[in-house]
């Protein structure tokens, strides 16, 4: 591991002086990276809180809101420390704590309990609890409780749902547990929290779905144009659509389905992506938001990334011209794998066409269309059963897609955000017809792995040539070792630099 990677992996909240300087400067770049707790008020805040900076002797720093809550602190009503981008550390790191945090944010504990979380991670409950408590200051139940509190605040402040419905949707087992958690975390009752809201947006019904308007925060700078262009170019008809400079797609979620419409920030002062979310089951709110944030890479730390990339002379112009570049993620692991296999050795347009045909033949239809969004991407079970009948193209590619779908359907392969990158990559390479490019592409986008360089990609090598970098895979990899652990983002710059008329092979 390089010195840069070690520095990134070290938890900033353990460095008191660095954290205190960020708090004194009210530096919003550190929001979500650690929690500031004040012993005299028993309140925890985000680093950029506008309140008077507390004296150093009265400050404690924690890695998560759950750790601060476990220590007896409640959330600041002024800065709302839960309403910030998530910690970029969970994407950079691939250890147990990071993988657990990604699954907790997706609502696994609410759906499967701690035993289910431990099973997905390959640990015993006791091992998992011990590891998370030592690393994050709180066990899985406390971390999930903090996540539920955030979901509850969203529902209280952004909707007019009855509190009983809000409690159920946020993952609480009873209204009493909901009330107690809100009082403990926010220092007020649900009624008082709802009364303080400034611009309520009533929840409405649309085609039998509950409709919510949300704001998804990010760290500046944010290359919104690049992300939305990337998604629009690959939009599968019926499943996805480009719209009014934005993007929409259907979602298959644990309890039901949803459609999400996303718009880039409006104006230089906006720090949010606007999201119109329509859910068939409100229990899926947190999971949907988590997946959309990963899709847009909203929890990235662009200052840290751009600072390292700019040290490579060939990337200086790209970083200056496109600050805050992102690596688009995925809302569903199996879907991304199938789409990557469909796109092997073909252009982006061809991959999109093939995915559209597959979705039209095997995808489930929404009960009610939402504009151009009509279809859910096919399940692995459907592809495994009917793929040979509907897929077109080289026989070897068709068999690789069906074999991968069958492995997922049979439980032999799990492609989810809690996987260890090296283990997932090895399992993918064991599948017939899956090569290094496909395995690395899936790891990069499904796990938000920041340090994957797709040296076998044609368009990426064309971009390298345009920037004066080596095009030989081994030489290019060695040259860009200096920008670790951000080589995934370096690759996005290389893709951007590729000649526009290239076929873009290898970029599904």
Contacts of 194 (CB under 8 A, 6+ apart): 156, 157
From the list 12, 209, 153, the residue with the least C-alpha distance to 92 is: 12
> What's the CA gap between 175 and 219, in Å, rounded?
35
Catalytic residue among 45, 49, 76, 79: 45
What is the crossing angle of helices 333-342 and 380-390, to 10°?
Answer: 20
- Tell me if the bond preceding 485 is cis, omega within 30° of 0: yes
* HSE toward the beta carbon, residue 333, CA cutoff 13 A: 22
Contacts of 258 (CB under 8 A, 6+ apart): 209, 250, 251, 277, 278, 279, 280, 284, 288
From the list 444, 423, 424, 425, the residue with the least C-alpha distance to 491 is: 444
Task: Tell me if residue 45 is catalytic.
Answer: yes
> What's the CA gap between 376 and 368, in Å, rounded?
12
Element (H, E) at 43: strand 43-45
Whether the CB-CB separation of 178 and 163 falls below 8 Å is answered with yes
Catalytic residue among 223, 332, 370, 457: 457
Whether the CB-CB separation of 7 and 43 falls below 8 Å is answered with no
* Start-end of H helices in 34-122: 65-70, 89-92, 96-105, 108-121
Task: Tell me if residue 475 is catalytic.
Answer: no
Active-site residues, by number, are 45, 457
């Amino acid at each position: 591991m390089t010195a840069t990677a070690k520095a990134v992996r070290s938890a900033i909240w353990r460095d008191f002086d660095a954290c205190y300087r960020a708090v004194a400067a009210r530096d919003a770049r550190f929001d979500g990276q650690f929690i500031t707790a004040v012993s005299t008020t028993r309140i925890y805040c985000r680093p950029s809180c506008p309140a008077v900076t507390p004296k150093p002797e009265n400050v404690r720093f924690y890695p998560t809101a759950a750790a601060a809550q476990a220590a007896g602190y409640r959330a600041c009503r002024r800065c709302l420390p839960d309403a910030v981008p998530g910690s970029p550390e969970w994407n950079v790191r691939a250890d147990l704590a990071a993988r657990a945090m990604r699954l907790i944010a997706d609502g696994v504990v609410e759906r499967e309990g701690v035993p289910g979380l431990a099973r997905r991670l390959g640990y015993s409950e006791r091992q998992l609890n011990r590891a998370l408590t030592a690393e994050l200051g709180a066990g899985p139940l406390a971390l999930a409780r903090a996540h539920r509190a955030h979901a509850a605040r969203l529902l209280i402040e952004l909707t007019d749902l009855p509190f009983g419905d809000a409690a159920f949707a946020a993952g609480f087992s009873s209204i009493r547990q909901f009330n107690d958690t809100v009082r403990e975390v926010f220092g007020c009752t649900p009624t008082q929290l709802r009364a303080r809201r400034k611009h309520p947006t009533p929840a409405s019904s649309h085609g039998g779905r509950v409709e919510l308007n949300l704001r998804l925060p990010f760290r500046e700078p944010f290359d919104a144009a690049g992300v939305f262009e990337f998604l629009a170019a690959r939009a599968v008809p019926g499943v996805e659509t480009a719209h009014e400079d934005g993007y929409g797609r259907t979602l298959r979620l644990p309890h039901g389905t949803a459609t999400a419409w996303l718009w880039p920030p409006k104006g230089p002062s906006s720090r949010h992506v606007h999201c119109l979310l329509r859910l068939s089951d409100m229990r899926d709110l947190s999971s949907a938001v988590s997946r959309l944030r990963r899709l847009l890479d909203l929890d990235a730390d662009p200052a840290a990334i751009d600072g390292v990339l700019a040290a490579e002379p060939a990337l200086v112009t790209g970083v200056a011209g496109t600050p805050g570049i992102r690596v688009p993620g995925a809302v569903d692991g199996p879907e991304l794998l199938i789409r990557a296999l469909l796109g092997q050795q073909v252009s982006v347009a061809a991959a999109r066409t093939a995915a559209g045909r597959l979705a039209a033949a095997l995808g489930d239809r929404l009960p009610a269309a939402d504009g151009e969004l009509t279809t859910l991407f096919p399940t692995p079970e459907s592809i495994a059963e009917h793929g040979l009948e509907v897929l077109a193209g080289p026989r070897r590619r068709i068999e690789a897609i069906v074999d991968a779908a069958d492995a997922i359907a049979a439980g032999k392969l799990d492609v989810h955000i809690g996987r260890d990158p090296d283990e997932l990559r090895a399992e993918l390479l064991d599948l017939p017809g899956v090569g290094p490019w496909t395995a690395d592409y899936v790891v990069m986008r499904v796990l938000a792995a920041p340090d994957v360089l797709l040296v076998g990609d044609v368009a990426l090598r064309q971009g390298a040539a345009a920037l004066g970098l080596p095009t030989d895979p081994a030489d290019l990899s060695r040259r860009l070792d200096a920008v670790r652990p951000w080589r995934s983002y370096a690759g996005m710059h290389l893709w951007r630099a590729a000649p526009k008329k290239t076929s873009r092979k290898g970029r599904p």
